[in-house]
Amino acid sequence: MGGTANMVAIQGALDIPDSAMGYTLLIDSIDYAIWVMILLALVPFAKTFNLWSKADTSVIDEVGQRLALKESHKAPIEFASLFFLLGSALLVSALAQYGASFLPTSAFLTQSTWVVLLATIAGILFAMTP
């Protein structure tokens, strides 16, 4: 996770020019996409691989079954609920932008950083509600 961001950080640390990093980032993205496609194509062979490698997947299988059972009891989302969620997201965004203007800034903590942090914290808190 964060491969491209890490490469950009290394670029800054080593003072590599943007012209040299462009192709590197492009190839990194292409290689990553190909790797994910290969992994997804191999999903049907997971049970065979697990038998061959003697991997114990009983815990993962049990969690998957419980999640599937939980999902089967959920009612489909209604338009009004979806509209409420969208409105809530816009309100949280506006409040995060307003609140960030009152928080201290530095070279590290800019107003945009505060907006992202506040919106993320609100998202995590709201995600824990039914």
Q: Which tens digits make up the pLDDT trace of 32-51?
A: 899 999 999 999 999 999 99
Which residue bears the tokens 């209604």?
A: 78
70-121 confidence digits (pLDDT tens)? 888 888 889 999 999 999 999 999 999 999 999 998 888 899 999 999 999 9
- pTM as predicted: 0.51
> Rounded to an integer, what distance in angstroms lies between the CA atom of residue 12 and that of residue 37?
31
CA distances from 79 to 69, 73, 83, 87 (A): 24, 19, 6, 12
Joined together, the tokens standing for residue 124 give 């995590």
What pLDDT score does 103 carry?
Answer: 92
Q: What's the confidence (pLDDT) of residue 111?
A: 92
- Would you list the domain boundaries of the chain? 1-41, 75-130
Q: Are 119 and 96 in contact (CB under 8 A)?
A: yes
